[in-house]
Amino acid sequence: MFRPVLTPDIPFFGDLAVCLILVSAAYTLALSLGAASGRAHLLVAARAGTFATCGFVLMAVAVLAYAFQTHDFRITYVARYSDRSMPWWYLVTSLWGGQDGSLLWWTFLMSGYTAALTVWMRGRYVELQPYVLATLMGIFLFFGILLLFPANPFATYLDGGPADGEGLNPLLQNYWMAIHPPSLYMGFVGWSVPFSIVFAALLSGRLDNEWVHMARPWAMVTWAFLSLGLLLGCLWSYEELGWGGYWAWDPVENASFMPWLTGTAYLHSALIQERRSMLKVWNVFLICLTFFMTIFGTFLTRSGLIASVHAFAQSDIGTYFVWFMVFLAVVITAAILYRLPKLVGTHRIESMLSREFAFLVNNWILLGMTVGVLGATLWPKISDFVYGEEATVGPPFFNEWMTPLGLALLFLAGLGPLIAWRKASGRSLLMSLRAPAITAVVAGAVHALVGGMIGRPAIVNGETIYGGGLGAIMGVFHDAAPLVSSVTCGFVAASIVQEFARGAAVRMRKGESLFTALFKLVARARRRYGGYVVHLGIVFMFVGFTGAAYDRTEEAALLPGGTMDLGEYDLQYEGPRREVDPTKQMIFTDMLLTRHGAASGQRVSPAKFIYRLRPEMPTTEVAIHSRPSEDLYVIMATVDPQTRRATFQVKVRPLVWWIWFGGMLVLLGCVISLWPRTVDLLRAEDARAKGPGKRALRLATTAFVALLLAFLASLPAWASAQADSSSLHAGTVVIHDDEERQLFHTLLCDCGSCERLALDTCACSWAEDKRAELRARMAAGEPNETLIRSYRAQYGDASISIPSDEGSRKVLWVGPLVALVLGGGAVVVMGRRWQRAYAEATDARAAEPAVAPTAADAGYESALEDELRRHEDES
């Protein structure tokens, strides 16, 4: 056992480090403000101060990690989130397992970004630097204050602390907790860098395209991490929560989805600004909004404002966040208004049939989705406030609205790249559309003809959540959603493949082989083709989402030797098996898997884990047998040690595999798009100064990318691995038919202790009793609507997963819909106006007398040719 040589007063050092962070951040803030007036020595001082601040953050994190490793239970946080039996790696993950620590962890990641940014900025963006540093230090100050007052991870017990800690919740003791929160945090925290850059541009008034270039790699890296974090969140949910789904539209999930949506919108609209110097206000706004959303998301998950299965315990930290958000909103609005004259540029577009306009539509849909998700996430609070009644907005509501928007977005992702910048002529666009359109029709036809035979019909009998005309329209759309999805996926995939093919063809005409042509094509326009790979990944993810329409579930209670049969699969139960390790008891139930009557020799072993410290909370370990066509998802509900009889629930989830595959393509696309060109990393001037430095940098980036690729490559292994962890709702739900599922899907458990899961997932005894009661009434012939109405009457509005849409409550969906329609109108009106502006400008130019080309002109012309040739050679 490690025995410290001297017993340092660790809590004191921790507090000291936090105080030093504050002091150093304040000092650096002052310096950078001073440097803003152009005093170079102050900028140098501010840069050093930034590094110092980051150093203090490192110290604080390391001190806390040390306290965990040495079981310093004087510290409340350590005692609450660890115990003596935990292995060292869980002691490390405990760093972000609880609220206070996770805020410190947040600060730590931000210091990583900040240090990297400061190094990267050396010798360039000199005017922006002071403001960038000042903004970042402001954010540090906020987190420093949080760490010192409401969320101090170094707070101690007054009486010296317990002998052993409470231990980390078994739910958090799995490798997901080791990788999911850090990558999600990386995706959240990172937005403070683009934000500080844009805010610096606002403060300094340097609002040309400089900041867009500067922010791009940082926005892209952060976006990639956010995507990775979301993907891992889905995997975690799928593997650990044991309900068979990957996304539940939970407030915490939504909180990370919203910055992703606005961030995606930014990545695209930034392209317009780079090309056309337009949309400056909009881009500034999007970055600020994305950053704001990350803070808002953190607030949502920390304040306990909205109940969620993932949320941290409620605390008074919310007040601090509210004030910070108010401050941010005021400051951002003021800065934008102040700079408005500099921001509004001349907006002109040649044609509404142009890439520019496609990007506008893309932004419109993404923002529409954000508004919808935001409104629905906040609805419970709004409803409470306005109507004095709690309400719940469950997955059916989200699915209803997000599916059509998602598919529209996907379609546009296929169409957009086919449209040329500035002006697409109808003829060449039609040419480009031919192959994708044919593919789409073929994909749809094949699906319609063959799908039904293999249990994947193109038209399904989906759910209708609302009555009335709109409800009926949406119901029809949802019935046809699988067909629409396969048509769209076919279209988009074909258009992307065509983009690669046409690009390669151009190069092959110059005599390159297919492989070289493809390679060089991607290498010389990494950004574009990386983006296309991202799009392709999204297509595959949609294929996976579509599979959800064909989910099947079976239940069985078996004695050893018994078999259950699900179409092509046979599962033979062999018997229970018990294993023990220092922290828990594990009971596996082995089942032999047979497919098409041929024994595969494969076993699936769903299990229950009983943790030593929390025996009352056994966890359910699902076993997943994953194949591209479908996943077999096996849950063991109960096992009787005497009779060895076990009850199982088996889900067949088609195409889920493609979600993970698509997700990896998305990340691969990000890597391609970001793959640094040394020329971009170091300006020519710096490159001149640092020969070996350049090589080291190239080496480092290669190593980094290799690591990232290795990481990506290992993802599928995780996806099919069996996890060492647990489920929030131990137990199993038995659903007999679709009608039942529809009903239980809509009703929420009211046991008071389970965060209102739907009756089709909640396994607590209250829910079990309720299901039995409802089944009896269904059997007696009561229709679903009556049952829902009486359920609502009995347990209140909040017990229904689809919020009431009576009277003014319609605003929940009418609001976003109106916003969407108005936004669409605005996009079209703006497009028209810009087009007119262009036409007028062109006329004016035509009226001017032509200037005869001068000799100097010819010189510049040939210089330009030189440049173009060099550009060509470089690639």
Where does this chain touch other proteins (CB under 8 A) — which range of 206-214, 489-497, 641-649, 651-659?
206-214
Among 22, 36, 53, 203, binds other proteins (CB under 8 A): 53
Exposure b/e, 788-816, CB count within 10 A at least 16 = b: beebbeeeebbbbbbbebeeebebbbebb
Which of other proteins, Zn ion, ligand HEM, none does residue 40 bind (CB under 5 to 8 Å by kind)?
Answer: other proteins
Hey, which residues between 664 and 683 contact other proteins (CB under 8 A)?
683
Does the protein bind ligand HEM through residue 373 (CB under 6 A)? no
Cα three-residue angle 579-584-585, rounded to 5 degrees = 35
The partner in contact with residue 45, picked from ligand HEM, Zn ion, other proteins, none with C-beta cut-offs of 5 to 8 angstroms by kind, is other proteins
125 vs 359 by CB, closer to ligand HEM: 359
Q: Does 213 help bind ligand HEM (rule: CB under 6 A)?
A: no
Output the smallest distance, CB 231 to ligand HEM, in A.
Answer: 12
Site track for other proteins across 109-128, x = CB under 8 A: --------------xx-xx-
Using CB under 6 A, which residues numbered 661 to 680 contact ligand HEM? 673
Give which of other proteins, ligand HEM, Zn ion, none residue 754 binds (C-beta under 5 to 8 Å, depending on kind).
Zn ion
- Contacts to other proteins from residues 247-266, by CB under 8 A: none
> Which does residue 362 touch among Zn ion, other proteins, ligand HEM, none (CB within 5 to 8 A, set by kind)?
ligand HEM
3-state percent helix, strand, coil for the chain, nearest multiple of 5? 65, 10, 25
Phi/psi at 710 (5° precision):
-60, -40
Q: Quickly list DSSP for 795-840.
A: H-GGGBSS----GGGGHHHHHHHHHHHHHHHHHHHHHHHHHHHHHH
CB of 530 to ligand HEM, least distance (A): 6
If binding is defined by CB under 6 A, does position 271 make contact with ligand HEM?
A: yes
Q: How far apart are the C-alpha atoms of 76 and 623, rounded to whole Å?
A: 37
Q: Which of 155, 335, 480, 687 binds other proteins (CB under 8 A)?
A: 687
Closest to ligand HEM by CB, 99 vs 183, is 183
What Rg value do the Cα atoms of the chain yield, rounded?
A: 29
Residue range at the interface with ligand HEM (CB under 6 A); choices 4-12, 307-315, 459-467, 522-530: 522-530
Q: Which of 1, 313, 453, 850 binds other proteins (CB under 8 A)?
A: 1
Q: Is 690 in the site for other proteins (CB under 8 A)?
A: yes
Q: Residue 766 binds what, of other proteins, ligand HEM, Zn ion, none (CB under 5 to 8 Å, by partner type)?
A: Zn ion
Question: Residue 115, by phi and psi: left (phi above 0), alpha (psi -120 to 50) or beta?
Answer: alpha
How many positions of this chain bind ligand HEM (CB under 6 A)?
21
**Smallest distance, ligand HEM to C-beta of residue 859, A:** 32
Site string for ligand HEM, 577-616 (x = CB under 6 A): ----------------------------------------
State how far the Cα of 828 lies from the Cα of 834, in Å rounded to an integer: 10
551 contacts which partner out of other proteins, ligand HEM, Zn ion, none, CB within 5 to 8 A by kind?
none
Q: Which residues contact 67 (CB under 8 A, 6 or more apart)?
A: 10, 11, 14, 75, 78, 154
Taking the C-alpha atoms of residue 449 and residue 652, their distance in angstroms, rounded to an integer, is 22
Q: Which residues pair with 553 in a beta bridge?
A: 651
SS3 label, residue 575:
strand
Binders of other proteins in range 395-454 (CB under 8 A): 418, 420-425, 427-428, 431-432
Residues 207-226 that bind other proteins (CB under 8 A): 208-210, 213
Residue with tokens 């709690």: 390
Q: To 5 degrees, how large is the angle CA 432–CA 438–CA 441?
A: 135
**Binding mask 497-516 vs other proteins (x if CB under 8 A, - otherwise)?**
-----xx-xx--x-------
Kind plus residue range of the DSSP H or E element containing 54: helix 40-69
What phi, psi does 493 have (nearest 5°)? -60, -45
In 10 A of CB 101, how many CB atoms?
A: 25
358 binds, among ligand HEM, Zn ion, other proteins, none (CB under 5 to 8 A by kind): ligand HEM
Interface positions, 344-363, toward ligand HEM (CB under 6 A): 358-359, 362
Comparing CB distances to ligand HEM, the nearer of 195 and 359 is 359
Measured between alpha carbons, how far is 69 from 114 in angstroms, rounded to an integer?
A: 27
Residue 185, C-beta contacts closer than 8 angstroms, at least 6 positions apart = 96, 102, 105, 106, 109, 229
Which tokens belong to 796?
A: 């209140």
Minimum Å gap between C-beta 170 and ligand HEM is 35
Q: Which is nearer to other proteins, 423 or 777 (CB)?
A: 423
Task: By CB under 6 A, tell whether 220 contacts ligand HEM.
Answer: yes
Determine how many CB atoms are found less than 10 A away from the CB of residue 540.
Answer: 22
Q: Using CB atoms within 10 A of its CB, is residue 160 exposed (0-12), middle (13-18) or buried (19+)?
A: exposed
Q: How far apart are CA 255 and CA 300, in angstroms?
A: 7
Footprint of Zn ion (CB under 5 A): 749, 751, 754, 762, 764, 766-767
Site string for ligand HEM, 285-324 (x = CB under 6 A): ----------------------------------------
> Which residues of this protein are in contact with ligand HEM, per CB under 6 A?
220, 264, 267-268, 271, 358-359, 362, 409, 412-413, 416-417, 527-528, 530-531, 534-535, 538, 673
